[in-house]
């Protein structure tokens, strides 16, 4: 892969010391390791496919926190990255954190509310360290990131291929996805596809044309991804990719053409693969899915519940994670399948306005900068640029109809892709601020608090079976509703909480 695929970043840190480099690289490599192996491999099968992904996520967060606590230079890189944000952005982030803390203090289950605040805090820290890694070594970092995405997809392709071969040879083994996906719900796999499909398209464009075998391999992964989209009958990923395609076409115009052609070729190949591999299953399942009107009514009911909660608790919300508090909501989902409405119901109107405003304003500033930079960049470099913007747009669209803000793998991709985009942004301020001792102290206190709250949540693993049984006894369904854990509703073993939930329904 030639140097042209990755742009120079004039805001890269100069003369970065080795401790800073290795600290940020350690965190970055930990994130890459998670996205490569966790989507496919099961290392804690006794915990369940959803819970094990959460446990591993908590594990890397605690490790990241320890790295930051013992490495002052890594903390300095993170704090300097945050310090370069515009003043209004820093004030907004601070107010968002304070709003979350105040909301958690008054929540019915404050321990779980603080768990979500601490968890999101560690996600932000992870994104910040990824940003520092991108700025320290942009070419190398982005090569590793794209390579990790391709390796992750290739490992899942191998997993699928082995399962498909077993289906052909052993009659009792069902065809994917019924035969096993390594996901408790196929929708969580589709979220993973939403993040990676645009990036795989960018990798295909970026690979030099003389590397024919590599290009064919990546195109095969894109085609397989589309075939699995069709057979899993998902709507969210289809809509998300449509939004991404329209968005990058409007932003980059002719510079988006190679990426759009790569996705079109992959989609066409996916249709062929679908009919080749799944022809015995009849027509496209995704078409059937779009025609099921009853599925939309359930989602609309969840959104209506979010608005009712926001109306009842407008300023601080019902409390972080408290869409899963049974007296507030004890229906078919522990989250509303909409990131905006989830934040509105749980964190309140002011926090939602601030965080949404920051996301839209910051996202547009970055995308506009990428659009202008595309005019003078090579086609290969623009392929990566368009792919990253497409991944962000696709994820944002999918988050409006699914739980991308909730599930472990999507959260890690949020930190990784968000940190990557943040790292590419070129600030007008060229100098790197030097953080004060007070800033280091505050960061350490927040890290210790977040690590303590998040790490202590592992005790919930000892009561997994009891909480599952308690939920099944309390409701008239046999399905679980994942949130932080695979059974996402809070305090279901507390008879008073369940009695109150039943009275309020």
- Residue ranges per structural domain of the chain: 3-465, 466-504
Mean pLDDT, to the nearest integer, of 318-329? 94
- 8 has a pLDDT exceeding 50: no
- At residue 455, the pLDDT reads 95
**CA dist list (Å): 19 to 11, 24, 77, 145, 431:** 20, 9, 11, 21, 21
- At residue 287, the pLDDT reads 60
8 A C-beta contact, residue 220 and residue 207: no
Predicted confidence (pLDDT) per residue in 139-184, tens digit: 889 999 999 999 999 999 999 999 999 999 998 899 999 989 999 9
Predicted confidence (pLDDT) per residue in 199-240, tens digit: 999 999 999 999 999 999 999 999 999 999 999 988 999 999
At residue 427's C-alpha, the angle toward residues 87 and 141, to 5°, is: 120
8 A C-beta contact, residue 103 and residue 109: no
Closest CA to 133 of 8, 13, 1, 2: 13
- 10 has a pLDDT exceeding 60: no
Burial class of residue 216 (count of CB atoms within 10 Å of its CB; 0-12, 13-18, 19+): exposed
Predicted confidence (pLDDT) per residue in 255-268, tens digit: 999 999 999 999 99
8 A C-beta contact, residue 203 and residue 218: yes
In 13-109, which ranges are continuous DSSP H helix? 18-37, 49-70, 72-83, 87-105
- At residue 427, the pLDDT reads 85
The token pair that represents 495 in the structure block: 């008879």
The more confident residue out of 96 and 478 is 96
Query: Which 8-state DSSP code applies to residue 323?
Result: G
- 473 has a pLDDT exceeding 50: yes
- pLDDT band (50, 70, 90) for residue 500: confident
- At residue 20, the pLDDT reads 55
What is the average pLDDT value for the chain, to the nearest integer?
A: 90
The more confident residue out of 285 and 101 is 101
Mean pLDDT, to the nearest integer, of 293-316? 86
Closest CA to 305 of 266, 286, 332: 332
> Which residue in this structure is represented by tokens 């052609």?
261
Buried/exposed code over 223-235 (b: 16+ C-beta within 10 A; e: otherwise): bbbbbbbbbbbbb
CA distance 499 to 20: 53
CA distance 149 to 139: 16
The fraction of the chain above a pLDDT of 70, given in percent, is 90
First to last CA, the chain: 59
- At residue 468, the pLDDT reads 92
CA distance 331 to 308: 14
Predicted confidence (pLDDT) per residue in 360-407, tens digit: 999 999 999 999 999 998 999 999 999 999 999 999 999 999 999 999
8 A C-beta contact, residue 129 and residue 27: yes
> Which residue in this structure is represented by tokens 């490599």?
29
Dihedral of CA atoms 201, 205, 211, 217 in degrees, nearest 10, equals 10
At residue 353's C-alpha, the angle toward residues 350 and 358, to 5°, is: 125
- 286 has a pLDDT exceeding 70: no
Secondary structure (DSSP) of 138-171: HHHHHHHHHHHHHHHHHHHHHHHHHHHHHHHH-T
């Amino acid at each position: 892969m030639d140097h042209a695929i990755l742009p120079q970043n004039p805001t890269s840190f100069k003369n970065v010391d080795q401790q800073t480099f290795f600290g940020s690289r350690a965190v970055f490599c930990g994130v890459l390791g998670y996205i490569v192996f966790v989507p496919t491999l099961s290392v804690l099968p006794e915990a369940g496919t959803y819970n094990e992904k959460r446990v591993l996520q908590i594990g890397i967060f605690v490790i990241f926190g320890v790295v930051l606590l013992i490495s002052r230079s890594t903390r300095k890189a993170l704090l300097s990255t945050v310090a370069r944000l515009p003043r209004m952005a820093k004030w907004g982030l601070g107010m968002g954190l304070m709003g979350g803390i105040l909301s958690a203090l008054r929540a019915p289950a404050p321990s779980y509310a603080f768990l979500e605040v601490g968890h999101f805090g560690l996600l932000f820290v992870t994104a910040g360290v990824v940003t520092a890694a991108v700025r320290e070594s942009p070419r190398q970092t982005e090569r590793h990131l794209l390579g990790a995405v391709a390796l992750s997809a290739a490992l899942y392709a191998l997993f699928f291929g082995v399962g498909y071969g077993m289906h052909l040879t052993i009659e009792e083994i069902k065809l994917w996805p019924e035969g096993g996906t390594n996901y408790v719900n196929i929708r969580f796999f589709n979220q993973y596809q939403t993040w990676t499909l645009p990036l795989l398209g960018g990798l295909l464009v970026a690979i030099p044309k003389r590397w024919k075998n590599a290009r064919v391999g990546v195109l095969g992964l894109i085609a397989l991804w589309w075939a699995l989209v069709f057979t899993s009958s998902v709507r969210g990923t289809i809509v998300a990719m449509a939004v991404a395609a329209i968005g990058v076409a409007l932003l980059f115009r002719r510079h988006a053409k190679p990426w759009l052609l790569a996705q079109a070729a992959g989609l066409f190949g996916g249709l062929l693969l679908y009919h080749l591999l799944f022809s015995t299953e009849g027509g496209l399942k995704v078409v059937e899915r779009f025609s099921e009107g009853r599925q939309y009514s359930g989602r609309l009911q969840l959104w209506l519940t979010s608005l009712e909660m926001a109306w009842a608790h407008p300023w601080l919300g019902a409390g972080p994670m408290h869409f899963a508090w049974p007296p507030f909501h004890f229906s078919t989902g522990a989250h509303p399948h909409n990131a905006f409405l989830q934040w509105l119901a749980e964190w309140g109107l002011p926090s939602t306005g601030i965080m949404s405003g920051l996301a839209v304003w910051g996202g547009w500033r970055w995308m506009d900068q990428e659009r202008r930079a595309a005019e003078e960049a090579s086609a290969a470099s623009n392929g990566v640029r368009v792919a990253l913007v497409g991944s962000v747009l696709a994820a944002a669209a999918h988050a409006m109809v699914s739980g991308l803000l909730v599930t472990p793998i999507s959260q890690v991709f949020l930190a990784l892709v968000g940190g990557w985009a943040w790292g590419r942004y070129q600030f007008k301020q060229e100098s790197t601020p030097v953080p004060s001792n007070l800033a280091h102290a505050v960061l350490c206190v927040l890290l210790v608090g977040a690590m303590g709250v998040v790490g202590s949540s592992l005790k919930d693993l000892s009561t997994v079976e009891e909480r599952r049984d308690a939920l099944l006894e309390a409701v008239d369904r046999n399905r679980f509703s994942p949130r932080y854990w695979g059974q996402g509703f809070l305090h279901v073993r507390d008879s008073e909480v369940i009695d109150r939930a039943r009275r309020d329904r």
